[in-house]
Amino acid sequence: MCGIVGYIGKQKCIDILFDGLSRLEYRGYDSAGIAVLDGAEIGVVKAEGKLSQLKPLLSELPAGATRGIGHTRWATHGAPNTTNAHPHAHANVALVHNGIIENYLELKKQLTGEGVTFQSETDTEVALHLFVRELGRHKTPFKAIMAMIPQLKGAFSLGILVGNEPDAVYVVKQGSPLVIGAGRNENFFASDAMAIVRHTTRAHFLNDGEVGRITEQGVEIWDFSGNVVAPHFVELDISSASTEKLGFKHFMLKEIHEQPRVFSGMLKRLIDLDSGIPNDDELGLSKLDLSRIDNICMVACGTAYYSALLGKYYLEPAVQLPVNVELASEFRYRQPWLSKNTLFIAVSQSGETADTLATVKQAKEHGCQVLAVCNVKMSSIAREANVTLHMDAGPEIGVASTKAFTAMLLAHYLLSLGLGYKRKTLTISDLKKAAVLLKTLPARMDQAIDGKVAIEQLAAKYDEAANFIFMGRGTSYPIALEGALKLKEISYIHAEGYAGGELKHGPIALIDRHMPVVAIAPQDVYREKMLSNIEEVKARQGRIIAVGDQDDQHLRRLADDFIVCPHIADAGLQAMLSVVCLQLLSYYVAVKRGTDVDQPRNLAKSVTVE
């Protein structure tokens, strides 16, 4: 989604800003722009499309400028064109914005009545004109910001350059994330630490309701009531190496390959594989009062939601408590039943998903204990939750989630062991059995990835299909949902995931010889039932692509095509292997179709608006 980057210092800033924006590209955007201050004059360039469209325009900016702001826009209000792109500028002020100003129409009417002419269709331009009006009345940018803020409703994280105060840039944080990075005689800010981590790892994450004045020498922060807030700088631990493709054609392929290493790291940190005893501190369990928990609620969006669906399969039998799994966007607007005895688990790779973040606040209001499962350490959800289980999967750049999904599954699985052991619903012998299998998991995952050549060949047979169905039962059912989501996200082929038993309740009407059906059929307790579902599809001439065990001859005979998935004697862990095969299938189908795999159309990596 929209990205912000800003700089003030002694270096020429155009390249710094452009590089920062390119590090935010993975978040998804459809236009971009940069504004710089040269003396007291503001220069702006903007372009529709990718940064490659903006690059030739950079020479129009004053080359020596040492302060500026940049933006990548993911269109919400108004088409993705140059006029609607940020920065918006007027009266020697330039402004970039992330979020949505909900009362913009009302404000626009008021400002139009006062004689303001709008160039764009955006809500952002309203904030610009409001600021310019208040600057005229109050004279200093700080006072103008303080006068503007109470008039805005919604989410508005802003970066502001003001020609008449060239020694400072201003930021406002409400809703969407903003981080300030401290350097020596220079300072940075961005909506995502990824944009600045190459320059500095000392960062202050602004809280909602804060305003910052950033100069070359330092940072001043106030809350929206004007009280001074002391910045709290922390060390970022994002390795910039993990934001490079390292020879892979796409970040998605690189991230698929990283999964065995991510698993090894997580296992080392989260469980003692010799004794089988989970590490309560790292899992976040030691900070929770588990004695009062009598139900669990898991909330997330998209892929994270599918991981939570699997979490229910892990947690319910292990902890013997009811586990409710919900989409954050639905949960936040109904009146959910929650109690002080609910363990609320929010799952989010980015930790910034607006709907999930809202449910965390909701759960805290109900007195629940909130555990976040996140991949970004200082993210909003991680900071809001009582305790966080950090996945530490490393930055995920591909918009289609792969390693974060499997890391979530492993986190939920280990959480089920840890909670089950604490609640005495699992014995030490249960843990030991699980640990024996967990030890072999990274190597099995490597084996699954080794199947990529065969999967690539198979993808070439199906890249022209118009529709796909994915089906699975038990722990393979959420995997079918995730497989379908992955395919539609990056190949733009319509795909649906179903529980095998549901097909005959409607979707079977879609089956004909043109319908590829991916059947995830490991050798688990559901196998016989899955075989019957496969027969039902075949009887209607559907084409079966089976994902199963190497030596499952029966399944091989039934299937039109076969994807070999390594076997592991635990249905919960098997799901983590099956999904790797589906990630590779989607990836190669998308590559054959020539789509933008890492930044699929219309999608954003982190959905910071509701």
399 binds ligand M6R (CB under 6 A): yes
On whether the CB atoms of residues 11 and 186 are closer than 8 A, the answer is: yes
DSSP per-residue letters across 459-528:
HHHHTT-SEEEEEE-TTHHHHHHHHHHHHHHHH--EEEEEEGGGGGGTGGGG-STT-EEEEE--SSTTHH
Distance in Å, CB of 303 to ligand M6R, minimum: 3
442 binds ligand M6R (CB under 6 A): no
Out of 31, 124, 349, 406, name the contact with ligand M6R by CB under 6 A: 349
2 catalytic residue (yes or no): yes
Q: Distance between CA 88 and CA 330 in Å, rounded?
A: 34
354 binds ligand M6R (CB under 6 A): no
On whether the CB atoms of residues 473 and 528 are closer than 8 A, the answer is: no
On whether the CB atoms of residues 170 and 141 are closer than 8 A, the answer is: yes
Please tell me whether residue 37 adopts helix, strand or coil conformation: strand
Distance in Å, CB of 468 to ligand M6R, minimum: 16
Which CB sits closer to ligand M6R, 323 or 399? 399
Please give the backbone phi and psi of residue 457, each rounded to the nearest 5 degrees, phi first: -65, -40
H runs (alpha helix) in 166-295: 251-270, 280-283
H runs (alpha helix) in 380-427: 380-384, 403-422
608 binds ligand M6R (CB under 6 A): no
Distance in Å, CB of 329 to ligand M6R, minimum: 10
Residues 535-564 that bind ligand M6R (CB under 6 A): none
415 binds ligand M6R (CB under 6 A): no
On whether the CB atoms of residues 232 and 378 are closer than 8 A, the answer is: no
Out of 125, 134, 489, 524, name the contact with ligand M6R by CB under 6 A: 489
Interaction mask 508-527, ligand M6R, x per CB under 6 A? --------------------
359 binds ligand M6R (CB under 6 A): no
Distances (CA, A) of 425 to 293, 315, 317: 14, 11, 9
606 binds ligand M6R (CB under 6 A): yes
Q: Among the candidate windows 79-87, 111-119, 218-226, 342-350, which touches ligand M6R by CB under 6 A? A: 342-350
Q: Among the candidate windows 140-148, 275-283, 541-549, 599-607, which touches ligand M6R by CB under 6 A? A: 599-607
143 catalytic residue (yes or no): no
Interaction mask 302-341, ligand M6R, x per CB under 6 A? xxx-------------------------------------
Strands 31-38 vs 41-48: parallel, antiparallel or unpaired:
antiparallel
Which CB sits closer to ligand M6R, 555 or 582? 582
Q: Among the candidate windows 154-162, 348-356, 412-420, 467-475, which touches ligand M6R by CB under 6 A? A: 348-356
Please give the backbone phi and psi of residue 94, each rounded to the nearest 5 degrees, phi first: -130, 145
Q: Which two tokens stand for residue 82?
A: 């140059």
Which CB sits closer to ligand M6R, 2 or 221? 2
72 binds ligand M6R (CB under 6 A): no
Active-site pick, 312, 486, 488, 605: 605
Distance in Å, CB of 486 to ligand M6R, minimum: 7
607 binds ligand M6R (CB under 6 A): yes
Q: Distance between CA 204 and CA 219 in Å, rounded?
A: 10
Which CB sits closer to ligand M6R, 165 or 192? 192
Residue nearest to ligand M6R (CB): 302
| Bridge partners, 519 (sequence order) | 471, 546
Distance in Å, CB of 235 to ligand M6R, minimum: 23
574 binds ligand M6R (CB under 6 A): no
Which CB sits closer to ligand M6R, 304 or 434? 304
301 binds ligand M6R (CB under 6 A): yes
Q: Among the candidate windows 58-66, 290-298, 344-352, 507-515, which touches ligand M6R by CB under 6 A? A: 344-352
Please tell me whether residue 190 adopts helix, strand or coil conformation: strand
Q: Which two tokens stand for residue 14?
A: 């155009």
Distance of CA 246 to the CA centre of its chain: 22
236 binds ligand M6R (CB under 6 A): no
Q: Which two tokens stand for residue 463?
A: 């890249």
Q: Distance between CA 367 and CA 363 in Å, rounded?
A: 7
Torsion over CA of 390, 395, 400 and 406, rounded to 10 degrees? -40
Catalytic annotation, residues: 2, 605
Report the interface residues with ligand M6R, using CB under 6 A: 301-304, 348-350, 353, 356, 399-401, 489, 603, 606-607
